[in-house]
């Protein structure tokens, strides 16, 4: 008998079928096994005529009344494959978020690049947003805190980077303002600290080469040419005094 939390296993010996194999386009026949995924608790491979054809969760098996020995017609086969595709997109998306934070736009693009259909991608993004695993506002704040405090990015560069990742201007501006306020970040002080750190690294270079590299480095972090020129002149003057 099938229980809601753990479907029964078939008595037949294990096959070498890969439960992570691509979902087929069509399926029908007799269900010969329901096997829990070896690495994903709560996910079950549905075997039809001795071959694993789809991986779904226990609730789908319960709701669809799937059991060993029952026949899948085309309609139920289509329903099974749709559930498998959506679950696959969701699981892959959740795993991607576990490796590093992403915006909704980044995650959507990542899934599409891996061949998932737009409808399944949209469903995965929607579900992850609903459960709080995907939140552009929190992503923008974390991104700002990391890039401003460790990379010395300016407000302008942060806005550009967040926009490139699909975060709205309003949300980006709010995140940047909040983080700058919480961390008591003064952009001119941040520019000087970033410039001094890089200047120290460039100390062994020819003065003209070091100057060019520092200009480029600070410009790539979004600081205005005028502000960069002021701090570069200051650092050069200090070095000349030091001899």
In a domain, residue 161? The reply is yes
Q: In which band, very low, low, confident or very high, does the pLDDT at 7 lie, cut at 50, 70 and 90? A: very low
Q: Which of 143, 161, 185 is the last residue of a domain?
A: 185
Residue 194 sits in the same domain as residue 242: yes
Q: Which of 165, 185, 205 is the last residue of a domain?
A: 185
In a domain, residue 126? The reply is yes
In a domain, residue 105? The reply is yes
Q: At what angle do helices 187-201 and 225-242 cross, to 10 degrees?
A: 50
Contact 43, 55 (CB under 8 A): yes
Q: In the prediction, which pLDDT does 24 show?
A: 64
Q: Please give the tally of structural domains in the chain.
A: 3
CA distances, 17 to each of 13, 43, 47, 114, 146 (Å)? 12, 15, 9, 22, 43
Q: Average pLDDT, stretch 172-178?
A: 97
In a domain, residue 47? The reply is no
Could you tell me how many residues make up the chain? 243
pTM for the full model?
Answer: 0.78
Q: In which band, very low, low, confident or very high, does the pLDDT at 182 lie, cut at 50, 70 and 90? A: very high
In a domain, residue 57? The reply is no
Q: At what angle do helices 155-164 and 169-182 cross, to 10 degrees?
A: 140
Residue 224 sits in the same domain as residue 176: no
Residue 198 sits in the same domain as residue 240: yes
Residue 114 sits in the same domain as residue 156: no
Residue 179 sits in the same domain as residue 146: yes
Residue 118 sits in the same domain as residue 159: no
Pick from 231, 192, 190: nearest CA to 211: 231
In a domain, residue 61? The reply is no
Residue 243 has pLDDT above 70, yes or no: no
The alpha carbon of 91 is separated from its chain's Cα centroid by a whole number of angstroms, namely 12
Strand ranges for the chain from DSSP E: 29-36, 43-48, 51-57, 71-72
Q: Report the share of the chain in percent with pLDDT over 70.
A: 90
Per-residue pLDDT of 150-171, as tens digits, reads 999 999 999 999 999 999 999 9
Per-residue pLDDT of 51-106, as tens digits, reads 999 999 999 999 999 999 999 999 999 999 999 999 999 999 999 999 999 999 99
Q: In which band, very low, low, confident or very high, does the pLDDT at 31 lie, cut at 50, 70 and 90? A: very high
Residue 221 sits in the same domain as residue 191: yes
Give the C-alpha separation, 88 to 228, whole Å.
48
Q: In the prediction, which pLDDT does 20 show?
A: 57
Q: In the prediction, which pLDDT does 22 show?
A: 59
Residue 202 sits in the same domain as residue 222: yes
Q: Average pLDDT, stretch 190-198?
A: 94
In a domain, residue 104? The reply is yes
Range of the domain at 101: 93-130
In a domain, residue 211? The reply is yes
Q: Average pLDDT, stretch 192-206?
A: 91
Q: In which band, very low, low, confident or very high, does the pLDDT at 39 lie, cut at 50, 70 and 90? A: confident
């Amino acid at each position: 008998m099938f229980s809601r939390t753990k479907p029964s296993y078939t008595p037949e010996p294990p096959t070498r079928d890969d439960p992570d194999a691509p979902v087929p386009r069509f399926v029908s026949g007799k269900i010969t096994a329901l096997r829990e995924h070896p690495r994903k608790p709560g996910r079950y491979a549905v075997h039809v005529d001795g071959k694993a054809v789809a991986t779904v969760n226990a609730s789908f098996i319960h709701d669809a009344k799937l059991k060993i020995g029952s026949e899948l017609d085309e309609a139920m086969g289509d329903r099974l494959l749709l559930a498998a595709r959506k679950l696959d997109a969701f699981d892959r998306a959740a795993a991607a978020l576990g490796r590093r934070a992403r915006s909704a736009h980044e995650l959507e693009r990542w899934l599409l690049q891996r061949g998932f259909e737009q409808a399944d991608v949209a469903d995965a993004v929607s579900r992850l947003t609903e459960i709080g695993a995907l939140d552009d506002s929190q992503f923008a704040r974390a991104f700002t805190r990391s890039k401003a405090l460790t990379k010395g990015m300016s407000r302008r560069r942060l806005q550009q980077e967040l926009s490139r990742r699909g975060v709205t201007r309003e949300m980006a501006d709010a995140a940047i303002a909040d983080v700058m306020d919480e961390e008591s970040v003064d952009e001119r002080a941040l520019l000087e600290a970033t410039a001094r750190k890089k200047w120290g690294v460039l100390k062994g270079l020819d003065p003209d080469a070091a100057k060019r590299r520092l200009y480029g480095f600070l410009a790539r972090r979004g600081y205005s040419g005028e502000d960069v020129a002021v701090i570069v002149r200051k650092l050069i003057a200090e070095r000349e005094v030091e001899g």
